[in-house]
């Protein structure tokens, strides 16, 4: 899967440099879909994705950006309008038939990142 985590850094700087925004910034709905054919519970691509975006967000903060929040998308697998339950975005797997919830590897990793307030967990 290809992604560009520096985009969050570029966007934060753009709203400041080009538009003169000096207020607080909140990063919302940042996440990715499970890779096709991958183990739904060992979602290492999602961990790599989120880690990259958090690293660039931290860099923006270190350089003075007033980023006050980061909201991961999504806590739970959900029904996507055009894909139904076939595409999974959550860090918690939901069985659409039984509604059983089971944390993915990304859940455990993100929990530790939040608890320790650092990425090297």
Give me the pLDDT at residue 8, please. Answer: 98
- Contacts of 119 by beta carbon, 8 Å cutoff, 6+ apart: 51, 54, 55, 58, 113
Tell me which residues are annotated as active site: 29
What is the pLDDT tens value at each position of the chain, 121 positions in all?
A: 789 999 999 999 999 999 999 999 999 999 999 988 889 899 999 999 999 999 999 999 999 999 999 999 999 998 888 988 889 999 999 998 999 999 999 999 999 999 999 998 7
DSSP 32: -
Give me the pLDDT at residue 94, please. Answer: 94
DSSP 110: H
First to last CA, the chain: 23
- CA neighbor of 120 nearest in space, from 54, 61, 62, 74: 54
Give me the pLDDT at residue 37, please. Answer: 84
């Amino acid at each position: 899967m290809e992604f560009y985590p520096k985009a969050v850094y570029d966007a934060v700087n753009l709203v400041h440099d080009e538009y003169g925004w000096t207020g607080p910034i909140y990063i919302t709905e940042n996440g990715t879909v499970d890779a096709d054919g991958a183990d739904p519970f060992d979602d290492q691509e999602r961990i790599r994705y989120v880690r990259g975006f958090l690293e660039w967000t931290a860099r923006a903060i270190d350089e003075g950006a007033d980023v006050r929040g980061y909201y991961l998308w999504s806590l739970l697998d959900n029904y996507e309008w055009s894909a139904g339950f076939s595409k999974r975005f959550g860090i918690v797997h939901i069985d659409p038939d039984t509604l059983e919830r089971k944390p993915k590897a990304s859940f455990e990793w993100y929990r530790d990142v939040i608890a320790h307030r650092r990425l090297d967990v």
